[in-house]
Each structure stands twice: as structure tokens, then as C-alpha cells.
Structure 1
Amino acid sequence: MTEKLQTQTSGTDGPRYLGSGTVEGDTRSLTGAPPSHLPPRLAITLWDFSWYTRAEAGGPYADLDPACARAAELGYNAIRICAAPLLLFGGLGLDSLAEDLEIEGLGTAPDGGIYGRGTRWYDAPGGYRLNLRERLLRLFDAAERHGLVILLASWEYQQSPVFAASPQWFEAIDAVPLAGRYRVLGDAWDRLVRFLTEAGHRERIAMVELHNEVDFSILPALADGGTEQVQRLRQLHPDLLVTASYGKPPHLAMHTVPEGLGAAQFHVYSYGVLDALQQRIDIRSEGTEGFPNAALRALLRAEAPSLAGYGRLAAWKYRATVVTDQMFYGYDWIDPAAWDTWLDKEYRPYREVMRREIESRVVAVAAWARWKDVPAVVGEGWIGYTPLRGGFEEGPAGLELAEHGIRTALAHGVWGMVLCSNAAPHHPMWADAEWQQRMNDLILSLPAG
């Protein structure tokens, strides 16, 4: 439409000028320049905390070298992880635990299976111990061998400690007064960066995030001490990108994002039809009387136990994660085929809205990053949290939305992006090699200039 208006003529006067709003600028150049030692574009796979919580024998991260090798084969050049800075370097008396961390997962249910069996990210069987400091170095060593850089974040005030057998990790970080949590994070990151630097891995650090999704974690608002710590870390490590991430950035009021972030690492989700289903079955609440309701019961597998029969996780684990008891029950016992059938049937009226929402959010984030002259990254996206075996996001509708997000991000100068939050070794989408390779080729082949 814009091109047509620009070339429309009026008599013999030549092209009509219909206002500056009809003249499109070139938004493809990067919103801000990354450090010169880093790749010109980032194709990111999201390994979150799973790189240490799914390291059981035969698990997706049992051996980090082949996991990194496969990521490189699929075209990725970056990994985003929880580096557990508070556990490793928080100065909270957790050194012994960090060197001998027992991974339990969410625990064993009354039927003998694990809690979280039907969820993404939480389906951790546990049953092993690890030295997380040594494992972090092994990850960086493997990343170096396979040409990968690493984005460092913390999920500790959101969910990482829930997978431990002991509540010690969670209780130690929870004992930090709310107003002091960003300061403790800042100190921990400074020590962790120095640790990696001494090991020769400084240039493999693509980004340091004070914390993942500060707006959905047990933290104050970022403006209440968070950006101060980001700026302090930037001064201590001026060659590194330091920031914090938002789970739901204020797309309609980006001017309210606090000053001082070294990068725009924001997440872009459009729940749309998924949100309609979640509200219908009341799966994200906790303590709802009469749960599960009739709509959810209609989607459960025949062998699903009652809520009482399902049992409960250890009480401290509910405090250590933002996921609710109703989500664990619902996702563990949902019939994935029934779930997908509902979404496929109801999707059509939401399709255009979801496409536009993804596009508008990416554009808003990128425009803010260009204004601040910082690199932009979409570290999570595009649809939202679905059951482990649900295939909607891996199917035609989900892949179309993901590709739309990727192409929009590239068109607006976003430096790095995930293909989808579920494109990682611990998710079924990892098996779709052709789509991942094609999308990663698209990202990495685009000039940065």
C-alpha cells in the first residue's frame, strides 16, 4: 500500500507526496553493534537449566560434547543457559552444594512415576549428582570446540532450585531480603565472569543477563535496584553485553523500560488460541475450588488420577517455582491429541491476531533497541507453554508463526533469536532437523550491515 501511494501521480505533477508516514526507512541493519569478537548474527538454542537438570544417564545432556556438536550441525551458533550464579558464586554458603549437587527433579508421584512427566522443562527424572562448577567449564570447553557462544542468565528466582533434592539452595537465596537480591546477583555475576575469564573463556560469553524474566520472578521491579546492578556490571566488564530480560516487555509503553540495559533481550510470546484454552480449563491458577473443571476433565487421559490421588510435590518446591499445582496436574495428565485437536479446531479466528501480535511486539522491541543503540535479542518465543507431547507448536500453525517471528526480527535488525523456545535437545522439536537448519541458515546468511 505504501509503495502504491508513493508512486501515485496527480496530473503531470509527478509522484504525489502523501506524508512522511508513507516513506519506509530501512530497518534491516542491526539495532546496535555487538562486540566485535562475537558473531554478526546469533542463532540461539535455549538450554535453560536443563543442561544440568536433564543430565541423567541417557538423557539429552548426559554428554555435553555431542549435544554441542548436534547444535552446531543444526546450524546454531549460540546457547542460552541458566548458569546458576547464586549457587556457584553467590557467597551464600552453598559452595559444598555446588560441588555435589543432587538432582532429584520434582519428585516421585504415588503411582511411581515422576512429577512433571507431561511438562516441558520439568520432566526431570533426577537420580544423579554433579559438580556444577566443573560442568560449567565442560560446557564452555565443548562450546569452544564446536564454535558456539553462550548467553548467560539465571533462572534461580524463578525455578532452577526446584530440581534439587535439598531445599538448601532455594532457602539460601530466599533468605536474601527482597531489596538486596539484585545486589547479590550482581556480585555473583562478577565472580562468575572472572572465573570464566581465568579459564580462558571470556570471549565465548555472548551476554550476561542479571536474571531471566525479572517481571515473572521473585524479584523487585527492575527499576528498584536491578538496572543499578546492570550498570555496575557494565562498568566492571565494559567489553561484555550486560542486561536483564523481560518475559513480557511493555510493548505499548517501551519508554517505561529503565535506563542502562546493555542489550534488549526481551521475550516475544503470543498466546492467542493457547490462552483461550488455558482460561477455559483454568490450568494456570492455583487452589481453585472444584478443580479440575469439566472442560479440563474432557481433555484428560482416561487413566488420569483425581487431584487428591495425584498427590503433591514437597511443599518447598511450590515456593521454589512460579509454576502452579494446577499446571503440574493438568500437563502431566492431559491427552496431547485432545489438546492439539482443540487448538487446531479453534485456531483460525486467532491466526491473524497472533501473527500481528508477534510482529508488533518484535517491532516495538527492535525500535526501542535502535533508539538506545543496543543489540536486540529474542531469547524466547513465540507461542507459549504447551504440554511436552503436544504438537501444536511443532505443527504447521506453530512453525508458520515461528517463521513469521524470525523473518520479522531479521527485517527489523534483531541481532539474535531463538527459532522457538522448544527447539532444544530436551524437546521433541529437536527432531525436526530440516526446519531448524533452514531457519538457522536464513538467520546466519543475512548480512549484519
Structure 2
Amino acid sequence: MTERYLGSGHLSEDESSLTGPVPAHLPQRLTITLWDFSWYTQAGPGDPYEDLDAVVADAAALGYNAIRICAAPLLLCGQLGLDDHARALEIEGLGASPDGGYFGRRTRWYDAPGGYTLDLRGRLLALFEVARRHGIVIVLASWEYQQSPAFAASPAWFDAIDAVPLDQRYAVLAGAWDRMIGWLTTHGFREQIALVELHNEVDFSILPALDQGVPALRGLRERHPDLLITASYGKPPHLAMHQVPDGLGAAQFHVYSYGVLDALQQVLDIRSEGSADFPNAELARMLRGDAPAVADYGRAAAWKYRATVVTDQMIYGYDWIDPSAWDTWLEEHYPAYEAVMLREIESRTIAIARWARWRDVPAVVGEGWVGYTPLHGTFEEGSIGRALAEHGIDTALAHGVWGVVLCSNAAPHHPMWEQRDWQARVNARILGASTSQQQ
């Protein structure tokens, strides 16, 4: 009824076409499963990634056509004196705890028991080979200035990259990527590279602001003009996207709406460090009955906390929280946050897509949608979390986003992987969008 009062310029437009051009040899939509560093930190006997062939085949069976990983370019190709370390990388996780278990056992991503050694260079080639057989492309990133080295038994990897002066880190990353791209090309895998990210979540890593990395990024793009090369933001400036520096080959940004989860984290003070009263009364009431005292549980080696973004309070809290109490609190308080969480997911996704369209580059949501929860919490896997995820995915498809995760937790090292029917259905919807677009 109101459209007759508006000029044609005010009518909504179809924005479902891709925000920017995608190389012809790549899929016209990516449905991404986020394997991060876990594909090598949880690769021991009985771990989710022990059998690469089987787990890649499983991803393909669920409809995924892209895997996003930490390729550890600084370790493998950084020329930092780590070659021997890379050939025999001893994975420890966060290490053994005094009670006979290991730190991080009930967290996401940090639940790595370790206890094995691998040749990461050989494993990366094996992943590319298996992925090619199953029609899957690889999104290459680095988590090295965020957390990857913390899982090693030795601090050598972290010490080497930490010794790089802050203002030289982007240049060193670009050099490592240049050598890794050349190495993968020599082995015939160039067309398997969907995207290269200078680093994951530069705004949440031990790196300068991204504008300082643009010269290195531009140089890498000039050396490899046929590849999409960028860097990712954990929380781009959604209300002022003009502040994102020019020079990115893709808009690979993440969309998290913490909402009710952030409210709970503040109540529990679970992600801080050095809190005098930790655990506070609210957290104490939510702990498992067998939770040890903080002092008795201890903490991982000090260097591991320097090598990662998590705190000892988070490790203790997530290891010993009662997940049913956690989920109950979130579910009871969610109604007050539902509208704003839906709105945040939608508006942030649209902001990313419109920035990408302005810059004429493909848009990718490589992580999302709610946030970081304990391993056995089911809020994001449940009906509420799935509805939020589908809202984000539908918004992304409607606004021409090229690649999208179903959820950051939809990967073999998370319980959400068992929701197979949901993943297959949503993946079919994402891939179907590319079909309908071409018709």
C-alpha cells in the first residue's frame, strides 16, 4: 500500500547475485565446514581427524564443498628455523592436569588430548589430495598468532613467531604464504585453493591493525592475481564499514551475535583473568558436583596462555561447568534477547555483503553464529541455535554471499557433526542457490 508514495529508487532490489566475481574453476557457492587447526591437533589415535580420507569423505557426503583450515604457513614455510619441528610436530594439547586428565577436556577446540607426533607438511599434501578426490576445495588461513602453537608440546613454534617484531609480522606472513602457494602449485593443487587468508581474525590476534598489513597483502595479490587473497575479521566494524582498509581480495568476515551468551558470560565472569573472587557465587552454583578447587586443578604451562587468546578462568570454567545448568540459563533468558540477536545477525551479514559489493569482491562468512560455548552445551546445536544459523544463512544467500558456514560448530570435532540430516538439508539449500542463480 505504501509503495505508491515512494520513488522507484526506494523499492527493494534483488541482491542475490554474487557480490563480486569468483574464479571460474571454483564453485559458485561454497558451503564451508570449519576444521581450523583441529585437523592436525586432534589427529591422534581415536581422534576425529585420525583418518583424513574417511573424514573428508564424510564431509562430502553431508554436502560440503569447502573446508577452512589453519595451514600453519609460518611453521611450514616461514623460514623461521622450524623445519625439523614441522616434520615431527609433537601435539600435546594444553597438557596434563593434576587429576590425571588434561586441560581443556570439555572446551571446544581446546579439547585436544595430544600424545602423538606428525609430519604437518606431509599431512597438508594428503589433505589436498583427499579433498580433490571428493570435489572439495580448501580455504587456507593461519591461526598462528591466535592459538595454533599452544597445542604443541614445545614452545619453539610460538617462540619463533613471537620473536618476529610486531611491525614485520604481516610481511613475514605474506612471504610464508607466497612460498606455500608455490609449493602447493608445484604439487598440482593450485586450483584446489578457494581462498588464502593472510591471517584469521586479525582484530583478535597478536597482530597490528590490518591497515599496516595492506602493503604485504597487495604484494601477495600481485604475485598471485588468479587467487583470492585476503585477511579475515572476527568482528568487522559493521556500523562503519568504510573503515575496513581497501586491498582485500574477498570479504571474509565473521558474524557472531553473542546476545544472551554474552549476558551469561558476564554473570559468571568466566572469560576474564586474574579475578580475585573466581569462581564467583554464580559460577560456583553452576559447576559440576565433582569440580575440583581452582588451585587443585591448576593451570597449563604459562607459555601456552601467551600463545593463545583464552584464559585460565575460561579453561577451568568450561572444563567444570554443568552443561545442563548452562543451557537452562540460556534458554530461560533467550526470549529477552531473541529480537536483537536475529537483527544483529541479519544486519551484520547485510553490512558485509554490501561492503563486498561496493568493493566488487566475493563475500564469505567463514564463522558464525552465536559464539563460544562449552563442548557439551547444546544451545547452539538446539532448535534456538539452528534457527539463528538458518536466519544468517538465508540472509547471506539473499544478499549474494559466496561462501558460508552452517555454524562454527558444524565440524567433525564438535557434537553438532551428528546432526546429519540438518547439515545435509541446509547444504542442499546453499548449493541450490547457485543453481537457481544460473537459471
Which category describes the TM-score, using the shorter chain as reference length?
Answer: over 0.9
Counterparts of residues 242-253 of structure 1 (less than 5 Å):
242-253=229-240
**Aligned counterpart for 1:220 among listed residues 199, 208, 213:** 208
Using the size of structure 1 for normalisation, the TM-score is 0.96
Residue 437 of structure 1 is aligned with which of 424, 431, 436? 424
Query: In structure 1, what is the Cα distance between the partners aligned to 2:215 and 2:319?
Result: 40
CA drift at 1:391: 0.2
Deviation at 1:70, TM superposition (A): 0.2
Q: Distance in 1 between matches of 2:178 and 2:102?
A: 37
Corresponding residue number in structure 2 for 1:11: none
Compute the TM-score of the two structures, normalised by the length of structure 2. Answer: 0.98
The equivalent residue for 1:357 is 344
Offset of residue 17 of structure 1: 3.3
Q: For residues 107-128 of structure 1, give each alpha carbon's deviation from its aligned partner in whole angstroms, at most 9, with x where no partner exists.
A: 0111000100010000000000
Distance 2:381 2:58 in 1: 19
Which of 423, 430, 433 pairs up with 1:446? 433
- Which amino acid in 2 is paired with 1:50? S
Q: 1:298 aligns to what SS in structure 2? A: helix
- After superposition, where does 1:121-200 map in structure 2 within 5 Å? 121-200=109-188
In the aligned structure 2, how far is the partner of 1:21 from the partner of 1:248?
31
Correspondence list, 1:294-443, <5 A: 294-443=281-430
Measure the CA separation in 1 of the matches of 2:263 and 2:220: 41
Q: Which AA in structure 2 matches 1:213?
A: E
Query: Match for 1:144: what amino acid?
Result: R
State the shift of 1:343 in Å: 0.4
Q: 2:59 matched to 1:62?
A: no
Q: 8 Å contact 1:380–1:418 — kept in the other structure?
A: yes
Q: Deviations over 1:200-255 (max 9, x none)?
A: 0000000000000000000000001x111111111000000000000000000000
Structure 1: how far apart are the matches of 2:60 and 2:25?
19
Q: CA deviation at 1:58?
A: 1.3
Q: Secondary structure at the match of 1:147?
A: coil
Q: Write the distance in 1 (CA, Å) between the matches of 2:192 and 2:216.
A: 22
1:5 matched residue in structure 2: 2
* Distance in 2 (alpha carbons) for counterparts of 1:20 and 1:314: 63
Alpha-carbon distance in structure 2 between the residues aligned to 1:208 and 1:214: 14
Distance (whole Å) between structure 2 residues aligned to residue 209 and residue 36 of structure 1: 19
Query: How far apart in 1 are the matches of 2:77 and 2:333?
Result: 48
Question: Gaps (5+ residues) in structure 1?
Answer: 7-15
Instruction: Note if 1:233 corresponds to 2:220.
Output: yes
Tell whether the 8 Å contact from 1:75 to 1:437 is kept in structure 2 after alignment: yes
Matches of 1:56 and 1:261, distance apart in 2: 36
- The residue identity in structure 2 corresponding to 1:299 is M
Q: Contact 1:377 / 1:414 at 8 angstroms: preserved in 2?
A: yes
The reply on whether 1:203 has 2:195 as its aligned counterpart is no
Distance 1:236 1:63 in 2: 35
Q: CA deviation at 1:417?
A: 0.3
Is contact 1:72-1:148 (8 Å) kept? yes
**Per-residue deviation, 1:21:** 6.2
CA distance in 1, matches of 2:155, 2:406: 34
Is 1:103 aligned to residue 91 of structure 2?
yes
Residue 268 of structure 2 corresponds to which residue in structure 1?
A: 281
Q: Tell me which residue corresponds to 2:39.
A: 51
RMSD (Å), alpha carbons: 0.8
In 2: Cα distance, 1:398 partner to 1:227 partner: 36
The 3-state SS of whatever aligns with 1:250 is coil
Q: Per-residue CA shift, 1:367-415, capped at 9, x if unaligned?
A: 0000000000000000000000000000010000000000000000000
- CA drift at 1:20: 5.1
After TM superposition, give the deviation of residue 19 of structure 1 in Å: 3.7
Aligned pairs, how many?
Answer: 436
In 2: Cα distance, 1:312 partner to 1:21 partner:
59
User: Distance between the aligned counterparts of 1:252 and 1:347, measured in 2?
Assistant: 24
Give secondary structure in 2 for the equivalent of 1:347: helix
Name the aligned partner's letter for residue 178 of structure 2: D
Structure 2 equivalent of residue 9 of structure 1: none
Asked if 1:78 corresponds to 2:75, the answer is no
- Hey, what's the Cα distance between the residues in 2 that align with 1:17 and 1:234? 47
Aligned partners of 1:5 and 1:22 also within 8 Å = no
Q: Separation in 2 of the partners of 1:212 and 1:310?
A: 31
Q: Using a 3 Å threshold, how does the CA distance of structure 1 residues 311 and 21 change in structure 2: closer, same or farther?
A: farther
State the distance in 1 between where 2:214 and 2:255 align: 21
Which residues of 2 match residues 4-43 of structure 1 at below 5 A?
4-6=1-3, 16-19=4-7, 22-43=10-31
